Chains A and B, each alone.
Chain A
Amino acid sequence: MSQATNRKLPVWALRLNGSAVLLFLYAPIILLLVFSFSASRIPGQWGGFTTEWYATLFDDSRLQRTISVSIRVALISTVIATVLGTMSALALERFKFRGRRVFDALLYLPIIIPDVTMAVMMLMFFSQSFNLVEAVFGIAISKGFATIVISHVAFNIAFVSVVVRARIAGMDATLEQAASDLYATRWQAFRFVTLPLIAPGVLGGALLAVTLSLDDVVVTQFVAGPGSTTLPVYVFSLIRKGVTPTINAVSVIMLVASLILVAGSVGLQRANAFRGRQQLQTTGGTS
């Protein structure tokens, strides 16, 4: 559908709407960026240019600790979720086994479940488990770094799996047969044919997992312990107490970080699409 628009519809109105939407989407981000350099103590008011708010961040050890926690949680949970998610994707797309349908359905739930429900259920799970462990083994555990990681992995497996599955499904299944015909063992076929071809999908899934982990507020809030908070949760609580210019600065940094991730992801999708086109041309036998 790339022909001229319906001539009865005023094109100017459509264009106006289009620009308005894009403005709506980008204005807040841009304004945030602008005001983070404002010297005014009242956030949102311009008071001359300054970088002092960014400077104060360097002294804020509490902030830095939460950044460290966020990054570590994101990295560890992503690695685990990517490995488990990729294995799930391979199992579901290439094998038949008992319980397959249950597994498939189970992996859809984390994607549709509301944050709040997930936060609630993880909290209850941990509190019950800790009570149980204490009753049986006499050891007292409390919420902390581990519970955050466990929770993040719990929802990220599903997301990684969806992305990798899409990649596998788009892959020509006869390639693995060809590899086998050419004397490759199962492992060799996986290592030299399957893995290189799904790698972009795996990376894409990992990137998605990192983003979701760094973004998460509600679930983390419920399962974090006193000594371990992530950046979003910390900032969230700060905002509720009162908005300060330093929060502006922190927000911009978080924004830039996520934009870098987005750029990486878009670049990866380009590589994906490119390889996908290659495959289509190869296996379609076009002359």
Chain B
Amino acid sequence: MSVGIAEAKRDRNERRRGLLLALPSFAYMILFFAVPLVIVLVYSFATRTSTGSTSLSDWNLDAYRKLGEPIVRNVVLRSVVLALVTTAICLLVAYPFAWFCAHQRPVVRNMMLVAVMIPFWTNFLVRNYAWRLLLSSGGPISSFTEAIGLGETNILFTKTAVVIGLVYAYLPFMILPLFASIDRLDRRLIEAGRDLYGSGSQTFRKIVLPLTMPGVIAGSILVFVPSMGAYVTPELLGGGKETLLGSYIVTQFLTARNWPVGASLSFVLMAVMLVSTIIYFRSGGKNL
């Protein structure tokens, strides 16, 4: 066989092998992921019949129009605000923690990071439940405040409880990228800054913060995005009194039986995720 032909043949064989290797998963993902996603998109253009089932024969943008209604807007607004508050708290708490971590000896540093990750790996439901326990009236926190004379506290089923739960769930997501970003700081830049500015806060604002911005952005996205779409935590700790996006979507399917609206909301949520992910990658989050 001439070499030119052999060269082409080898290339072709490689491609074929690669395709064969990828095919089973590729097919699976198309059938059981891409297709469902498309169906959601399709359904979002469908109509809800009076009996609560979905009619695919009438195409319209009703479901999307409904998104502009006050009810939905409030739900979305509430979710966004909550997610922002969660993100802010995480940032304020995680930054000093990450800074502290980055300045320890490697052994201590690794231990601290592992310590942060371990709770994260335990069952998600249980972690939420634990807070439910803690925050209930009659629970330990309440008993504690009673004991010190502040009276009964009932944080459960308030927005505060939801925020606590979300912060608890996603704090590691803020700590790790911040840590990575702080760890990369060139110490000499900070020293130079201190020489230049004299005060610590100026150095922080003008030098440290801008340089750790990729970590800040990455962490914020990693916290904001799941918080927006959270379902379990608001349900367990918020009690459903103030509806958030996740619960609202779920009720469209289980109780209100308005699949098109549920679909359009889910799709919008996913679009937000996608945009955030693109921002994350663009801002160099992947390289942290």
Interface residues of A (CB under 8 A from B): 1-6, 8-9, 13-15, 17-18, 21-22, 24-29, 31-32, 35, 42-45, 84-85, 87-88, 90-92, 94-100, 103, 106-110, 112-117, 119-125, 128, 150-151, 153-155, 157, 161, 186, 211, 214-215, 217-218, 222, 232, 235-236, 239-240, 243, 247-248, 251-252, 254-255, 257-259, 261-262, 265-266
Contact = CB atoms under 8 A, between A and B. Distances in A.
A113 B273 contact: yes
A124 B185 CA distance: 48
A6 B168 contact: no
A265 B18 contact: no
Interface of B: 14-19, 21-22, 24-26, 28-30, 32-37, 39-40, 43, 93-94, 96-97, 99-106, 109, 112, 114-116, 118-119, 121-127, 129-134, 136, 138-140, 142-143, 168, 171, 182-183, 185, 187, 190, 194, 199-200, 203, 225-226, 228-229, 231-232, 235-236, 245-246, 249-250, 253, 259, 262-263, 266-267, 269-270, 273-274, 277
30 contacts: A2-B102, A13-B96, A18-B100, A21-B97, A43-B133, A44-B134, A44-B139, A45-B143, A84-B28, A88-B21, A90-B21, A95-B15, A98-B19, A103-B22, A106-B30, A109-B33, A112-B225, A115-B229, A115-B231, A115-B246, A116-B245, A116-B249, A117-B273, A122-B36, A124-B259, A125-B39, A157-B29, A252-B126, A254-B125, A258-B121
Contacts of A94: 18
Given A5-B100, A217-B125, A112 B21 contact: no
Contact of B263 (A31, A92, A120, A186): A120
Contacts of B106: 2
A254 B121 CA distance: 12
Given A43-B136, A95-B21, A121-B39, A1 B103 contact: yes
Given A25-B116, A232-B125, A116 B18 contact: no
Contacts of B40: 117, 120-121, 124
Given A28-B134, A262-B121, A110 B33 contact: yes
B130 A107 contact: no
Nearest to B11: A96
Contacts of A125: 32, 35-36, 39
B90 to A, nearest CB: 11
Contacts of B246: 114-116, 218
A1 B183 contact: yes
A262 B118 contact: yes
A123 B259 CA distance: 10
Which residue of A21, A87, A128, A261 has the most chain B CB atoms within 10 A of its CB atom? A21
B133 A14 contact: no
Nearest to B16: A97
Contacts of B118: 259, 262
A28 B25 contact: no
Nearest to A214: B123
A261 B129 CA distance: 20
Contacts of A128: 39
A103 B133 contact: no
A106 B269 contact: no
A247 to B, nearest CB: 7
A32 B127 CA distance: 9
A95 B102 CA distance: 38
Given A95-B18, A243-B133, 7 more contacts: A31-B140, A44-B134, A96-B15, A98-B19, A114-B228, A116-B245, A154-B28
Given A120-B253, A123-B253, A154-B28, A18 B112 contact: yes
A243 B132 contact: yes
B130 A247 contact: no
Secondary structure call for the B interface:
helix
B235 to A, nearest CB: 7
B39 A44 contact: no
B198 to A, nearest CB: 10
B100 A153 contact: no
Given A32-B133, A153-B28, A157-B29, A21 B15 contact: no
B126 A251 contact: yes
Nearest to A80: B28
A87 B200 contact: no
B229 A248 contact: no
A45 to B, nearest CB: 5
Contacts of B194: 6, 8
A161 B28 CA distance: 14
Given A87-B25, A255-B122, A25 B171 contact: yes
A41 B105 CA distance: 47
Nearest to B191: A6
A117 B266 contact: yes
A97 B229 contact: no
Contact of A9 (B17, B200, B263): B200
Given A18-B97, A124-B40, A150-B32, A95 B14 contact: yes
B136 A124 contact: no
Contacts of A44: 133-134, 136, 138-140, 142-143
Contact of A116 (B138, B139, B140, B229): B229
